[in-house]
Amino acid sequence: MKIVIDESVSYGIVSYLRNEGYSVIAIAEQHTSGFEDEEVFDIVIREQAAFFTRDHHFTNSLRFPPLIFIRKGNLTSDQENDLITNFLTKFDPQDYKGRLVTLYLGSAKIRS
């Protein structure tokens, strides 16, 4: 499974996921940071990857396909990392493929 991590997500998760065997593309590592939203989604679609972001505007399903949105809040980077790793451990990609997922501290909501 490939994963794209948006610039808005704590960068610490990138090396952790790679150490766990995930193929991770970090937008912050791309040859230029500050990609336009459509450029980010071109990468997600081309790579057929799960996309983790904290940017609420990506949840507009008229502009972008479903993704995994980390709900804004005062999360430490460790809490954010725990949200992502717990989600990936608990759910099979088929459970959320093509659906908008919102991760909250302590829970996940997968929309139909």
pLDDT, tens digit, 9 for 90 and up, residues 35-71: 788 889 899 999 999 999 999 888 888 788 889 999 8
pLDDT tens, position by position, 88-107 = 999 999 999 889 999 998 89
pLDDT for 32 = 60
pLDDT of 31 strictly over 80: no
Sign of CA dihedral 65, 54, 87, 30: positive
